[in-house]
Structure 1
Amino acid sequence: MKKRKLLFVIDSLVVAGAEKSLITLLTLLDYRKFTVDLMLFAHGEMLEKMLPKEVNILRPLNYTNFTHLSPYKALIYSAKHLDLKMLNSRIKYSFNIRFKNYNNVQKARLFWQCAANVIEENSVYYDIAISYAQGVPTFYVADKVKAEKKFAWVNVSYRLDKKEAEYQKQFYDRFDKIVAVSDSAKDIFLETFPSYNPKVQVIYDINNPQFIYNMADAYEGYNDDFDGIRILTIGRLAYGKGYDIALEACKKLKEKGINFRWYVLGKGPLREEIQQFIKENKLENYFILLGVTANPYPFIKNCDIYVQTSRFEGFGLAIAEARILNKPVVTTRFDTVFNQMIDRKNGLVVDMNADAICEGIMELIRNQNLRNNIIDFLQHEKKGNVEEINRFYQLIG
């Protein structure tokens, strides 16, 4: 039987929800039936080492390599090849984003407007091409890939203003199906693009409990001798994850005299700002930035409470992983939270502010009966959703 050619495209394999979901999907694929190429726009991130050996990572784009050159070497390269197009694209994009605080959606549009004309097409004809993230991966699959079928994943609460919606519609028009990772993510996407309703469907981010159990037993995680309450948060150090809420809640817990440490796995643009807050409020021994790791599961397994202070999530994969490892969750009431949370059953869903987060944590610390009931519920609720791979197979035919 001839294998079908699949292409997946994602920005990079940083340690984040969509990326871990893609890794899990790729580990479950039947490679007797498929060959898989993977296109990345940034290479060398931690999750690459977790890819199945059958996955072929495509070489970096010429423009990706060019953007890694120093300005001097970029100029020499352009002069040597008698071609200033990539240099002009790079200068134009850098100039555009330097003087205004653009969000990620706007940056993706500006990048593609500046660079699309110098990014080469993929020469392979695929049976299926999948953009596994919004923005540049979606633009790339629409513009630069030839395939019998094209599918676009939406794995965040994707709200667009009129200008961004008008720009992105030309790309989404060229996809056969659009896949949202939760019912709420689908509803939010359709607020912007109601005409796409017939071609939007839901396939949840895939969790494989056995994989998580095995990884959680790999080592202990924490390397300190702290004997108080361990709180853990996982997520990119960015506005959407609500670290300002977490920091204020941490400050309040300290003021109440609680013996705790709040650990964070993640990296991102707010690291310096977070570190400054920690220093100014003397939280060095309370709010601990651990950076990133390819295996967060020992940290989840050995924490006491998992906390998510997000403003928005497409699904909330880290919460799902904490639930698999039977950890009580305190989470903000973001758009998609009730796709998996049952308030006061498998955790606490609270208002999106520091007081509410603090009180939720305090309740789990002080109310041992509630905490035990939540853990008991977690131990008996359904674990994971590897059956979602069947929805994927149905999608691609």
Structure 2
Amino acid sequence: MKKKSIIFVIDSLDCAGAEKSLVTLLSLLDYSTYSVDLMLFSHGNILEELVPEDVKILKPLEYTKFTHLNFKKAIKYSIKKRDLKMLYSRLKYSVQLRKKQYNNRQKSRLFWESVSSVIEANPKKYDIAISYAQGVPTFYVAEKIKAKRKLAWVNVSYRLEEKEKQFQKDYYDKFDSIVAVSESTKKVFLETFPEYANVIKVVYDINNPAFIRKMADIGIGFQDNFNGLKILTIGRLAPQKGYDIALAACEKLIEAGIHFRWYALGKGPLQEEIENKIKERGLSDHFILLGVEANPYPFIKGADIYVQTSKFEGFGLAIAEARMLNVPVVTTEFDAVYNQMVQRKNGLVVDMNAEAVGNGIIELIQNKQLKEEIISYLRNEKKGNTEELAKFYELVNYNESVS
């Protein structure tokens, strides 16, 4: 039987929620039935080593390679090729970015408006093409890939201003199905695009407890021999993750006399700013940036409390991973939080401010009975959701199921 061809497109395999979700999905696919290509806009990131050997990671686009040249080499390359189009597109995007501060949605539009004409299309025709993230992967799949069916994943609470909505609608119109990673993500998306109500489905980020437990038992976790309370947060060093809340809550714990260290796994655009705030506030002994790890699970397993200070999430994959390793959770009340949190059963959901986060942590420390009840609940609650794989198969086999 001929294998069904699938291509996944995502920005990169850096260590973040959508990326970990995709790696988990790829680890579960039946490669006797599916032939899978993976296209990235950024190569050499940490989760690539976890991609199954059956998956073919495509070579970088010519424009991707061009952007890695310094400006002097880029000019020489363009002159040698007698083609200034890529150089002009790169300069156009760079100039646009300097005009003002843009959010990620706006940057995606500016990038595609500037460079799409010089990005080559994929020459192969696929049975299924999947953009596994919003923005550029969605634009690329819509415009540059030929496929019998196209699926667009939405894994954040996707609110768009009118200009971005009008720009992106032309691309979403080219997809057969849109996939939200939670009911709340679907609700928010439909607030912007109610016209897609008949084609949007919900497939939760797949997490595999057997894989996570195995990974938690190998590799290396905390190495500093600290004997106090270990708090862990995982998330990009970006505005949506609420590190401003985390740092202020850290100060509250110090004031309360708690013997603790708060560790953060992640990197991102706010790294320098967060590092400076840690120094300015005298938190260097208490708030520790660990960078990124391909295998974060030994750190989760070694933590006493997992804390998420996000301002919005599509699902909250790191919370699910902490739950699978029976680590009590304190989290802010973002849109999708109750897709997996049961208040005061598997953790505490608190208001989105430092006072509430700090109080939640202190309550778990001081109320030992509550903490033990939460751990007991975690040990017995349903682990993982690999049954979501059946929903994925239903989507990619849709034509067969209705024929």
Shorter-chain TM-score range: over 0.9
Distance across 2 between alignment mates of 1:115 and 1:217:
44
Which residue is 2:401 aligned to?
A: none
1:385 maps onto 2:385 in alignment: yes
Distance across 1 between alignment mates of 2:99 and 2:296:
36
Distance across 1 between alignment mates of 2:202 and 2:71:
44
Cα distance change on mapping 1:162 and 1:247 into 2, 3 Å: same
Are the counterparts in 2 of residues 242 and 311 from structure 1 also a CA contact under 8 Å? yes
Which residue is 2:138 aligned to?
A: 138
- One-letter identity of the residue aligned with 1:211: F
- One-letter identity of the residue aligned with 1:293: E
Which residue is 1:65 aligned to?
A: 65
Distance across 2 between alignment mates of 1:139 and 1:65:
19
Which residue is 2:226 aligned to?
A: 226
Are the counterparts in 2 of residues 15 and 47 from structure 1 also a CA contact under 8 Å? yes
Distance across 1 between alignment mates of 2:64 and 2:292:
23
Deviates more, 1:298-307 or 1:271-280: 271-280
Q: Which runs of 4+ in 1 moved over 3 A?
A: none
Mapping 1:1-397, distance limit 5 Å: 1-397=1-397
Q: Deviations over 1:295-354 (max 9, x none)?
A: 000000000000000000000000000000000000000000000001100000000000
What is the number of residues matched between the two proteins?
A: 397
Q: What is the CA distance between 1:99 and its match in structure 2?
A: 2.8
- One-letter identity of the residue aligned with 1:58: L
SS of aligned partner of 2:370: helix
Q: Which runs of 5+ in 1 are unaligned?
A: none
SS of aligned partner of 2:352: coil
Distance across 2 between alignment mates of 1:373 and 1:332:
20
Distance across 1 between alignment mates of 2:75 and 2:275:
36
Distance across 2 between alignment mates of 1:268 and 1:86:
27
Distance across 2 between alignment mates of 1:116 and 1:219:
41
Q: What is the CA distance between 1:92 and its match in structure 2?
A: 0.5
TM-score normalised to structure 1 length: 1.00
Are the counterparts in 1 of residues 209 and 324 from structure 2 also a CA contact under 8 Å? yes
TM-score normalised to structure 2 length: 0.98
Are the counterparts in 2 of residues 220 and 302 from structure 1 also a CA contact under 8 Å? no
Q: Deviations over 1:351-393 (max 9, x none)?
A: 0000000000000000000000000000000000011110000
Q: Give the RMSD, CA atoms, in angstroms.
A: 0.5
Q: What is the CA distance between 1:220 and its match in structure 2?
A: 4.3
- One-letter identity of the residue aligned with 1:208: N
Question: Percent identity at matched positions?
Answer: 65
Q: Deviations over 1:182-237 (max 9, x none)?
A: 00000000000001000000000000000000000003400011111000000000
Are the counterparts in 1 of residues 219 and 295 from structure 2 also a CA contact under 8 Å? no
- One-letter identity of the residue aligned with 1:132: Y
- One-letter identity of the residue aligned with 2:341: M
- One-letter identity of the residue aligned with 2:19: E
Are the counterparts in 1 of residues 241 and 311 from structure 2 also a CA contact under 8 Å? yes
Distance across 1 between alignment mates of 2:52 and 2:78:
37
SS of aligned partner of 2:307: strand
Distance across 2 between alignment mates of 1:210 and 1:364:
27
SS of aligned partner of 1:314: coil
